[in-house]
């Protein structure tokens, strides 16, 4: 069984630990010194994020970020500079990955996530519980797909796109890089890069300023 260290100690990190049945989860790493030596979900906080470099035999998955800071996952991956083969792909036993689908390194699929057929999911993507990605969807690196999202066939999510809980994206639509789709939004048109869209039907709320 392969050792796994999870970067972060928040909710997504703890959910990933629960999903990683095929790994021996050694614990979490986090840059908050107040957490070092404590435990989360019965597993230790081993030290700061950079300490994974001193654990060459363990695979790593980066589980940070939220709607207020969804570039954090990319920033940590770039900071660590690890080769792709150091990153684990974690698929919950109750997730479903259909024929012809591919999942990149560092990506996590939580319980009930469904990839129906010929779905491409890049590296360091977070797919939350009960999300459904249908045929020929293409999800780029660093995207976040929150719980209950439904993507119609042939949807494209460019790098870093964040699709909020319960959102629906019509077939064939494209969500631009580092855009954010609000909770429960119904996306009927392409979304440009770097914008916040919400509502039913979804519309532009504001440009998105990001680091």
Domain boundary among 45, 63, 86: 86
Shared-domain flag, residues 39 and 125: no
Shared-domain flag, residues 142 and 99: yes
Shared-domain flag, residues 125 and 82: no
pLDDT score for 210: 59
Q: What is the spatial distance between Cα 25 and Cα 106, in angstroms, rounded to a whole number?
A: 15
Alpha-carbon torsion, ordered 209, 180, 91, 8, to 10 deg: 30
Shared-domain flag, residues 115 and 167: yes
- Residue 14 is part of a domain; what is its CATH number? 3.40.50.20
Could you read off the pLDDT tens digit of each residue along the chain, which spans 211 residues? 899 999 999 999 999 999 999 999 999 999 999 999 999 999 999 999 999 999 999 999 999 988 888 899 999 999 999 999 999 999 999 999 999 999 999 999 999 999 999 999 999 999 999 999 999 999 999 999 999 999 999 999 999 999 999 999 999 999 999 999 999 999 999 999 999 999 999 999 999 875 5
- Residue 179 is part of a domain; what is its CATH number? 2.160.10.10
The boundaries of the domain holding residue 151 are: 90-207
Question: Domain tally for the chain?
Answer: 2
Q: What is the spatial distance between Cα 192 and Cα 158, in angstroms, rounded to a whole number?
A: 10
Q: What is the spatial distance between Cα 209 and Cα 125, in angstroms, rounded to a whole number?
A: 21
Catalytic positions are: 135
Shared-domain flag, residues 133 and 68: no
pLDDT score for 137: 98
Domain boundary among 86, 121, 143: 86
Shared-domain flag, residues 104 and 194: yes
Question: Whole-model pTM?
Answer: 0.96
pLDDT score for 209: 76
Q: What is the spatial distance between Cα 9 and Cα 18, in angstroms, rounded to a whole number?
A: 12
Shared-domain flag, residues 62 and 124: no
Shared-domain flag, residues 185 and 202: yes
Domain boundary among 40, 63, 86: 86
Please, which residues bridge with residue 29 across strands? 7
Shared-domain flag, residues 99 and 56: no
């Amino acid at each position: 069984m392969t050792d796994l260290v999870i970067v972060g100690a928040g909710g997504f990190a703890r959910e990933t630990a629960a999903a990683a049945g095929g790994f021996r989860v050694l614990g979490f790493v986090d840059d908050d010194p107040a957490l070092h030596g404590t435990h989360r979900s019965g597993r230790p906080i081993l030290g700061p994020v950079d300490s994974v470099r001193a654990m060459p035999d363990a695979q790593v998955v980066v589980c940070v970020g939220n709607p207020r800071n969804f570039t954090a996952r990319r920033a940590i991956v770039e900071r660590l500079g690890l080769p792709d083969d150091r990153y684990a792909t974690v698929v919950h036993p109750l997730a479903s990955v259909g024929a012809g689908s591919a999942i990149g390194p560092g990506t996590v699929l939580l319980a009930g996530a469904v990839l129906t057929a010929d779905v491409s999911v890049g590296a360091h993507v977070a797919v939350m519980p009960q999300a459904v990605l249908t045929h020929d969807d293409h999800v780029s690196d660093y995207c976040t797909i929150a719980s209950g999202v439904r993507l119609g066939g042939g949807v494209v999510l460019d790098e870093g796109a964040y699709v909020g809980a319960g959102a629906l994206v019509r077939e064939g639509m494209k969500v631009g890089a580092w855009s954010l789709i609000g909770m429960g939004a119904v996306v009927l048109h392409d979304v440009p890069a770097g914008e916040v869209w919400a509502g039913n039907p979804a519309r532009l709320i504001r440009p998105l300023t990001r680091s």
